[in-house]
Amino acid sequence: MNLTAGGTLFFNRKYSWAIIFLGLIISACGYRFAGGGDLPSGVRSIFIKILENRTGETGVENVITNDLIYEFTRNRKIVLASSDEADAILTGVIKSMGIRTISRKGSHIPLERRVQVAVDLKLTDPDGSVIWSAKGVSTNEAYNVAPDKHVTEQNRRVAIAALSKRLAEKIYNRLTDDF
């Protein structure tokens, strides 16, 4: 076999990319997305109790609880309708909901507000022993203030719905982190 200088260069370049690619695959760092793990203490099924609402916002407990249930079922974790059959029970309290003005037009006309929610959670086994807990899990969402109060109220409800989805995802990720 007679290889010329040009043929040798082509041969080396052709296989060098394959060797580099193979090296990258073998030396992967094992990175995973947050929350991709299992529930703590070998829990396979979970019952999510309606959160206790200690705020002045009526119905927010249903919105956040429903988003929590959706997040767990979306990630293929078994959520049961009965606490008697579950390996663990997730309970929580909506501790606070605050609304602050974040931008103004003049000194008395708000343009944008931010709603913030904080939740305390506890995962217990059926005997009542605490498996996992988190205090002060919070998130926030901004919304526009309109001259019409009904539009502003609708914007606030949309912001709470978006905040609730993000809060449920955050809770799920913290609960299933393997760190």
Domain ranges of the chain: 37-176
Residue 47 to residues 20, 40, 130, 167: CA-CA distances in angstroms? 48, 14, 14, 18
The β-bridge partners of 98 are 116
The identity of residue 140, as a single letter, is N
Residue 83: band (very low, low, confident or very high) from pLDDT cuts 50, 70, 90? confident
Dig out the tokens for 9 from the structure: 């260069």
User: What distance in Å separates the CA atoms of residue 122 and residue 131, rounded to the nearest whole number?
Assistant: 8
pLDDT tens string 33-81: 444 567 787 888 899 999 999 999 999 999 999 999 999 989 877 777 7
CB-facing half-sphere around the CA of 176: CA atoms within 13 A: 21
Residues of the chain above pLDDT 70, percent:
78
CATH 3.30.160.150 fits 37-176, yes or no: yes
